[in-house]
Structure 1
Amino acid sequence: MNNFGNKTLAILYSQAKREYFPTEEQYISEAEVFERAKIVAVYFEKVGFEVILLPGDSSLPKKLQKVRPQLVLNLVDSVRGQEHLAAIIPAQLDLFNIPYTGTGMLGLAINSNKFLTKKLLEQTGVPLPRYQLFSSLLDILDVQLKFPLISKLNEIHGSVAIDQDSVSDNELHLRERLKKLFRIYRQPVLVEEFIVGKELTAYLLEGMSKKIYIGEKKFNEAATKYKIATFDAVWRDIDSYDYVRSSGNGILENYVRTAFDILKMDDYGKFDVRQDESGRYYFIDCNANPAFGPIETDCAISHVLKMYDINFDEIIRRLILNASKDEPNLMMT
């Protein structure tokens, strides 16, 4: 890898304060990024970057103008606790003409609305479970939806509010679940058919080309009735599932490329997919700028790519290579 001496990299992270979030869960999903950013910084320093960490808050514009980094690693997932405001960050970087890694303003804006994401995927033929957006308890359940159904927050990622109670076997349970989510989070709820079968995670990583890496989640035997990546499984009980290398036989890979493009993602993206007993795929979640970090931060991207003999140094190399397509001076020693 080139030596990037005398070049400054700014790592931007979410400024998470407990008062920004309605629940401890959502706060946990955002607050960890600062410690992760410090670990990631060491990897960039090893290749010669001078690294500075900056919070993604109202002070950012002045700090960017003062530092004028040659490259920004954007790890901001929310601003003042709102995921849809994360799109402000790449907008500022574009305004100041500062190159950065990850998805731009439009892609992050799309990413903050799961219903909009599904509509775009639907238009391009990417397979989805049947779904419905609930904006109030008065909404009538679509008769085409078949139980079991899983309910998810429309505007929050990170498996927040996902637990075994998220899956409903009847409408009475679903209504109670919706009532709770509306009361706490005050946002629409996406309800979709729960697909029994395997759960796959696919990463698309750009470099000179778009490469796709797939891992199947293998849940431990203690997993309860519905094997899903709950909040506790993702953030607390790291032994609840592991990854094994998998393949989409070219079919899933093509869907992932289509999804990546239509959702206006850049550099890297994560796609969660269920596969039923007949082998059919269903996209259940898409993440622009998913959690980014080396294996010691327990980020899924490093666990999945490790199965393909790709370490974090190589991931960084590809990100810089992709950024250098428009900024060739980055690759100068």
Structure 2
Amino acid sequence: MEMQLKKVLIITGPAGDAQGWGDLGVTETLRDALCANGKSARIAFVESMEDVTRAIRNHTFDIIWSALYHISDRAEIVGLSMADDAWLADRFDGLGLPYIGPDARTMKQLINKTETHGILQAAGIAVPDHHQVDAGADLPRMRFPAFVKPSCESRSVGISDDSVVENRTQLAARVAFIHREYEQPALVEEYLPGQEYTVLMLGNGGRQEFLPGIVTLDGEYGRYPILRADLRGVGVTRIKRAETLADESVALCRQATETLNCLDHVRVDMRLDRAGRLRIIEVNGIPGLKPVKSWSPQIYTLYHGSPQGPDHDYRQMVNLIVDSALERYGIG
């Protein structure tokens, strides 16, 4: 009997680049990589929850992979939808559908960095000293320099040299900027001046692995060694294998992903504080999947590089993610 191809329904939309792994071109590359390794993958481009419902009804599939946390009318930022009916994982859970990635509860926690920090801190996992500042709220008392960013973004959106503030006047100005430009709370953290690490979590159970890396830059930082928005997504960041603190970064990633119930494909970013200790700054529930440029493919090739080159490695990685998720659901 001929083995039936596993069918993957890939969901993306106008906000796929801001929220998830990349734009439609990246999604097409992901589809082709899955098809090249013996799967059947189709893309549904959605702009509303009605589109999502139609895509689910009109396609046959074994599992869903979505680049979207929630449906949003703002394609350039992630933001934070408070409406449960806008969250894709809520819809999938409600219909009992298998999908790749953490469940709806975890996705909502990961999008909101303040909530992520709070959960990890309560579990004794190292995060920066932090305060969320809502519109109209008083400014926190912080040790300067401090770092200000949107609470619910990714890809360094809202990050520039002005994100590092030296006094309360600068703090007030930057918080107001976040409120005005991104329409969400500002997250004020202690400034972490040290090296940035990232750890890729792939798979579940016996397939799971943690791959640590150090973030390097092909170019110049500005006034501060931070990853500004203009340094992300353009291929100027590179990952090299973590030769120091590799075990420590993996242990921290493992603790965080277990605490948050992360699944399938998650990346944990961390930096060294003033004392040289690693602290988690973000847990990314839908990491970028641009071939070569995104950190997940770079890290995978560092540890699983093949003679066939990075394109082959990319196909192996995305198929590992799908196969591990299928196994988690008992889909043989």
Under TM normalisation by the shorter chain, which class is it?
0.7 to 0.9
Residue 242 of structure 1: CA displacement?
2.0
Partner Cα distance (2:219, 2:52) in 1:
46
Q: 1:98 to 1:304 in 2, by over 3 A?
A: same
Could you say what secondary structure the match of 1:204 adopts?
Answer: strand
**1:268-292 alpha-carbon deviations (Å, 9 max, x no partner):** 2111111246431111111112123
Q: Is the 8 A contact 2:158 2:229 kept in 1?
A: yes
Contact 1:302 1:312 survives alignment (8 Å): yes
Per-residue Cα deviation, 1:30-53 (whole angstroms, up to 9, x for no partner)? 594211110111111112322211
Say what the alpha-carbon RMSD is for the aligned residues: 2.4
Deviations 1:9-50 (A, max 9, x none): 11111333xxxxxxxxxx963594211110111111112322
Q: Does 1:175 align with 2:172?
A: yes
Residues 293 and 235 from structure 1, CA distance in 2 versus in 1: closer, same or farther, beyond 3 angstroms? closer
Matches within 5 A, 1:273-292: 273-276=270-273, 278-292=275-289
Partners of 2:150 and 2:35 in 1: how far apart? 37
249-258 vs 193-202, which deviates more?
Answer: 249-258
> What letter is aligned with 1:234?
R
Separation in 2, partners of 1:203, 1:7? 25
Alignment-derived partner of residue 99 in structure 1? 98
Q: In the aligned structure 2, how far is the partner of 1:97 from the partner of 1:318?
A: 23
Structure 1 position 49 matched with structure 2 position 49 = no
Q: Who is 2:254 aligned against?
A: 257
Helix, strand or coil: the match of 1:196? coil
Distance change (3 Å), C-alpha of 1:141 and 1:53: same
Contact 1:5–1:50, Cα closer than 8 Å, also in 2? no
Rounded Cα–Cα distance in structure 2 between residues aligned with 1:128 and 1:168: 19
Which residue, out of 300, 303, 319, partners 2:295? 300
Post-superposition offset of 1:5: 4.3
CA contact (8 A) 1:77 1:83 kept: no
1:202 aligns with one of 183, 193, 199: 199
Which residue number corresponds to residue 227 of structure 2?
229
Bigger drift between 43-52 and 90-99 goes to 90-99
Identical-residue share of aligned pairs (%):
19
Provide structure 1 residue ranges, at least 5 long, that are not aligned to the other structure.
17-26
Distance 1:258 1:172, change over 3 A: same
**Partners of 2:202 and 2:209 within 8 A in 1:** yes
Residue 212 of structure 1 deviates from its aligned partner by 1.1
> Match of 2:18?
29
Residue number in structure 2 paired with 1:22: none
What per-residue deviation string (whole Å, max 9, x for no partner) do you get for residues 248-285 of structure 1? 34222122111112222111211111124643111111
Deviations 1:107-148 (A, max 9, x none): 111112111111100011111121111113541322xx2111
Paired residue type of 1:320: V
Distance in 2 between the 1:186 and 1:4 partners?
50
1:140 is aligned to 139
Q: Provide the C-alpha distance between the structure 2 equivalents of 1:15 and 1:136, rounded to a whole number of angstroms.
A: 28
Partner residue in 2 for 1:69:
61
Q: Which secondary structure state, in structure 2, belongs to the residue aligned with residue 111 of structure 1?
A: helix
Cα deviation for residue 187 of structure 1 reads 1.4
1:60 pairs with 2:52: yes
Report how far residue 93 of structure 1 moved: 2.1
Q: Tell me which moved more, 77-86 or 185-194.
A: 77-86
- For these two proteins, the number of residue pairs brought into alignment is 312
Mapped partners of 1:109, 1:44: distance in 2: 27
Compare 242-251 and 3-12 and name the one that shifted more. Answer: 3-12
TM normalised by structure 2 equals: 0.86
Q: What SS is found at the alignment partner of 1:190?
A: strand
- Three-state SS of the structure 2 residue aligned to 1:133 is strand
1:118 aligns with 2:120: no
- Structure 2: give runs of 5+ residues left out of the alignment: 306-312
Letter in 2 for 1:34: L
